[in-house]
């Protein structure tokens, strides 16, 4: 089987990490190739893993726009696509794919190529689109549903995303919900045992208002003031204005020394070795790769009961869910006052990650879905 993948951008974040996992799996017994917009960082990552890729200066999001000033140059981006598209098409024809796989609903070039070559197409929806990234279809939501239904199959990374993007009543194509998978460290079988006098909280991911980093500092404020050895670690890059807001808030409230900005880090083990509890404050998290990464490292997650987060955490069993500040504070007090709760959460998180979120489970489900689709074409 020859599978041609298309990525929606060239950034080494969650969606493309999940794509790399999938391609490494398929590469063992199939021919695979991925296209993504010109970049160095993602290319270096794929090259390191020995996965075939092709980069060209094109714009992958054709049917969607964002309400931002920079999108005033959208016509110029489409003009760029007009000149680059023949090169993409020629390379695709030479590859002779049996199936084309778009790694995001925001990736539209793959869909166009699939229609021209008359080969099956799968769209992997990893985002709400409007709620999390402010992407809107040019021709309205009815067009988006038609676009997805025109694929031979659609994969969603959570039930919450599926219900928002393509509810059952509008579903006309074959669909499947498949949770992302990560590499599980089989040697890590023991729960963690942190020093509660020096607890380290962490938030991992792009620093943006929708991710809730400022709220996390605010919710933790009273605990940081009364526990001077507690720290909140922020991993990721982000908008400078928002970063300054967070820093200023911490300074004004006297906890600046307990707030640690690490910037973007590629070494996930280095991240999770520094924290005892992961906080997930994102309001519209489609899935939450960092949530399952933390669980796979035996780190309990305290997450906002919203989006895909509420599917990943079994409240009180392998983590905690909260609805508001009061609920969050109750959880932190509970964990701090009873160390046995932390041990139990950590142990169950490890088991859950191994059973439900491993690379093997993820890749086998995707492969099974693709085989079903190809058998329908025979």
Helix axes 339-356, 289-296, angle to 10 degrees: 110
- Residue 378 has what pLDDT? 58
Beta bridge partners of 37: 56
* Superfamily of 2-181+358-377 according to CATH: Glycogen Phosphorylase B; (3.40.50.2000)
Calculated CA dihedral for residues 324, 326, 330, 336, nearest 10 degrees: 90
* Residue 116: count of CB within 10 angstroms of its CB: 12
- Residue 362 has what pLDDT? 97
Q: Are 86 and 58 in contact (CB under 8 A)?
A: no
- Residue 21 has what pLDDT? 93
- Residue 288 has what pLDDT? 93
Question: HSE (CB half, 13 Å, CA atoms) of 261?
Answer: 16
- Rounded to whole angstroms, the maximal C-alpha distance in the chain is 67
- Residue 190 has what pLDDT? 62
123: tokens are 């769209």
Blockwise average pLDDT, block size 10, the chain, 378 residues: 93 89 87 87 86 92 85 87 95 96 96 97 96 92 95 96 92 93 76 88 95 97 97 94 97 97 92 96 95 95 97 97 98 95 95 94 96 83
The DSSP secondary structure of 156-199, one letter per residue, reads: ES-HHHHHHHS-GGG--SEEEE----B---TT--S-----GGG-
- Residue 172 has what pLDDT? 87
Residue 27, SS3 per DSSP: helix
240: tokens are 């400078």
CA distance 60 to 17: 18
Question: HSE (CB half, 13 Å, CA atoms) of 237?
Answer: 6
First to last CA, the chain: 14
Nearest CA to 40 out of 17, 9, 70 is that of 9
Enumerate the domain spans of the chain.
Answer: 2-181+358-377, 196-356
2-181+358-377 and 196-356: identical CATH topology = yes
Which long-range contacts (C-beta less than 8 Å, at least 24 apart) are formed by 158-161?
158/286, 158/287, 158/307, 158/308, 158/311, 159/311, 160/286, 160/307, 160/308, 160/310, 160/311, 161/125, 161/126, 161/127, 161/128, 161/286, 161/287, 161/308
Residue with tokens 């290319």: 43
Residue 102, SS3 per DSSP: strand
Helices and strands: H and E segment counts in the chain? 15, 15
- Residue 67 has what pLDDT? 80
Which residues are CB-contacts of 141 (< 8 A; sequence separation ≥ 6)?
Answer: none
Nearest CA to 195 out of 275, 271, 88 is that of 275
The CATH number given to 196-356 is: 3.40.50.2000
- Residue 187 has what pLDDT? 64
């Amino acid at each position: 089987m020859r599978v041609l993948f298309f990525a929606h951008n060239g950034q080494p974040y969650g969606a493309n990490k999940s794509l790399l996992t999938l391609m490494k799996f398929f590469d063992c017994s199939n021919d695979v190739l991925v296209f993504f917009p010109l970049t160095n960082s993602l290319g270096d990552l794929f090259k390191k893993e020995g996965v075939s890729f092709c980069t060209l200066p094109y714009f992958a999001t054709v049917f969607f726009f964002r309400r931002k000033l920079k999108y005033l140059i959208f016509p110029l981006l489409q003009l760029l696509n007009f000149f680059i598209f023949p090169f993409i098409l020629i390379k695709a024809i030479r590859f002779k794919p049996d199936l084309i796989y778009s790694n995001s609903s925001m990736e539209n070039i793959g869909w166009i190529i699939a229609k021209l070559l008359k080969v099956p197409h799968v769209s992997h929806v990893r985002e709400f689109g409007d709620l999390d990234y402010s992407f809107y279809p040019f021709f309205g939501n009815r067009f988006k549903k038609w676009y997805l239904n025109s694929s031979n199959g659609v994969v969603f990374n959570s039930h919450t995303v599926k219900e928002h993007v393509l509810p059952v009543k509008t579903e006309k194509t074959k669909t499947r919900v498949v949770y992302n998978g990560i590499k599980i460290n089989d040697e890590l079988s023991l729960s963690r045992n942190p020093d509660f006098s020096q607890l380290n909280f962490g938030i991992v991911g792009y620093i943006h208002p929708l991710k809730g980093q400022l709220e996390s500092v605010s919710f933790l404020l009273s605990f940081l003031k009364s526990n001077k050895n507690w720290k909140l670690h922020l991993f990721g890059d982000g908008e400078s204005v928002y970063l300054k807001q967070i820093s200023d808030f911490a300074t004004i409230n006297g906890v600046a020394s307990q707030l640690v900005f690490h910037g973007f880090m590629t070494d996930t083990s280095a991240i999770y070795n520094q924290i005892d509890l992961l906080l997930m404050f994102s309001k519209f998290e489609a899935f939450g790769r960092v949530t399952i990464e933390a669980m796979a490292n035996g780190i309990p997650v305290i997450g906002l009961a919203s989006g895909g987060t509420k599917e990943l955490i079994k409240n009180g069993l392998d983590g905690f869910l909260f609805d508001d500040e009061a609920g969050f504070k109750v959880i932190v007090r509970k964990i701090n006052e009873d160390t046995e709760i932390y041990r139990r959460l950590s142990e169950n998180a490890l088991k859950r990650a191994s059973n439900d979120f491993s690379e093997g489970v993820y890749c086998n489900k995707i492969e099974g879905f693709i085989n079903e689709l190809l058998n329908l074409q025979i």
